[in-house]
Structure 1
Amino acid sequence: MTRIITPYSRESTTDEVLKDVDLRGRRAVVTGGASGIGAETARALAAAGAGVTIAARDAAAGSRVAAEIAARTGNPAVTAAVLDLTDLSSVAAFTAAWEGPLHVLVNNAGVMAVPDLRRTAQGWELQFATNHLGHFALALGLHDALAAAGGARIVAVSSSGHLRSPVVFEDLHFERRPYEPWSAYGQSKTANVLFAVEAARRWAADGITANALHPGGIRTNLQRHQVGSAVTAETQAIFDAYPWRTVEQGAATSVLLAASPLLEGIGGRYFEDCGEALPREQVTGGAPEPAGVAAHALDPEAAARLWDVSAVLTGR
């Protein structure tokens, strides 16, 4: 399998990646599209002509950002809808309300390194519930719309944080092991990649591709739990020295996977810096931030197992 290399890089922006790409007539959903790289992803897709639905917990924020993007791009087909990924009834309501084909689903929303163990109403650990299970239920609920589009794409926004932990099937929700924020985050981000691997396999006959990505470090609301008294001196030192990107650079790999003709028919892979990532063990020194993809995130057996477990948990 040939590694995908594109003309773009760590410094490329969303507008550079989508230059000359015409998305008129196509429809996209971007979760977490009311802020950060989600908002920039929505803007870039709208600027290329796509109809974009911003899915966000905060209805007012979603509507405000949708209006701003519509005004900025001159594209009136930008709307907002309420979606709470920790509430399966909210996910079900969103998918039931969707009508017509869906060409692009960007699973972008997420939480990172929540300092204290938090659980959903079902007892699920919050990061795994938000970052993976909610998006899993959303994708399955939108499957028919994606299949109807012909050549639809799913984009799973993961992270280099996946390097921190595989999916621990024996204790997904930290019921028997001590809770550790970064391990929980890492597990959820590995789950994002495994979802893309299995979705690409299961839904290939439906013309649906799925890929995962690391957007790089961008200072956004995602780091809201790494401020003030919640952050350790060690973490603060890392943050101070980190090579942060702009949101336009951070969302570039997302829109590459969502809409670039260079990724036509490509699925089940993990990207960073606008190209397919190397296996972690092949990454040499000198990278400005953690790079590469762990074998545990591309393991097809783990991907199939996670799908089955997630289907049971979400009633799918």
Structure 2
Amino acid sequence: MGRRTSLASLAGAKVDDVPGQSDPLLLTLPLTKLVPTRFNPRRNFGTNEELTAFGLILKRRQLQPAVVVSRAGYLKLWPAEVEAVGEVPYVIANGERRYRGSLAAGLTTLNVVHNEDVAASRADFLDAVLSENNDREDLDPIERAIGIETMVVELGGADQVAEHYGKTKGWVSQQRKLLRLTPELQALVSAGELAVRVGREIASLPEGEQGSAWAAELERRQAAKAVPRTRVSSRPKEPSPPVQRTSMKTEITGPPTDPEQKVVLVQEGQDQPGTPSNDLGFTAVNQDDEQRPASDETNETPARPPLPDIVTVEAMPWGSPQAVARIAVERMSEENRHTLAKLLSAD
């Protein structure tokens, strides 16, 4: 595995009396003696208002110092950077946002850690810059891709970067793939509107086809929003209990047309061939018809035999009060009859 330099831990390391030695040294330097490295992959530092607010926080208390290397150590790695560095004695490896925030808030100094070990090699310097930002999740996906791309260019190829991180060359290629997107789509990835996975798929297309591919992705999203989601339960559906069909016959109250006729109501759902139904879902049945046997001449399925749970109630002879009273007495229990006899004898 490649080495990773944790810059945030340097502030607690041993402090030397002489700047430039291998042990880190905590310093307070004027902003005029600092310059950021151009290899920092970070592109989004915030608006001027945000940087000013951040600088005012640093004015009250700066909890984490920036990390710098000497101009000589930096130019030893990249001699061609002499014009970019100028005569400034220190190059910022990490902490450019703190530097910019201090400038925006009108501060004149910045706390830094001077550590020449960071400039031991190009790989160490670039890894320190990239990993520190990644550890704090300051970089968006495009900035991380830029950081890997910078390492590939400066270290001489993807094989060197893969070896440094202990990864495969395919991993390096995957990290850089987002940089094949058009600038407009890269901006959408940085803003979080275009997912990294989808961005890498679109990046496989020629630039001229990427715009239409993104438009198709937006149409797919709109179509997905228009379709209502149906919640599917993972629990097996319990079988419903079997439905038991019952038949209910109810006496029609009130004086019947024929006192001797026995009429019942059959609840709809029990098949009774040849009987009309009313609007309430019941079918009128003449008891004499129920006793009539099915015709042997028909080919239809014979009627079902009477169900044992059907109870027929004889109609009351409402036209004869004496008959009604007799039936009532007959249906009384012995105890009730005895009580009624006592009441009648008392009168």
TM-score class, shorter = under 0.3
Q: TM-score, normalised by structure 2?
A: 0.22
Of structures 1 and 2, the one with the larger relative CO (CA 8 A, separation 6+) is 1
Q: TM-score, normalised by structure 1?
A: 0.23
Bigger radius of gyration among the two: 2
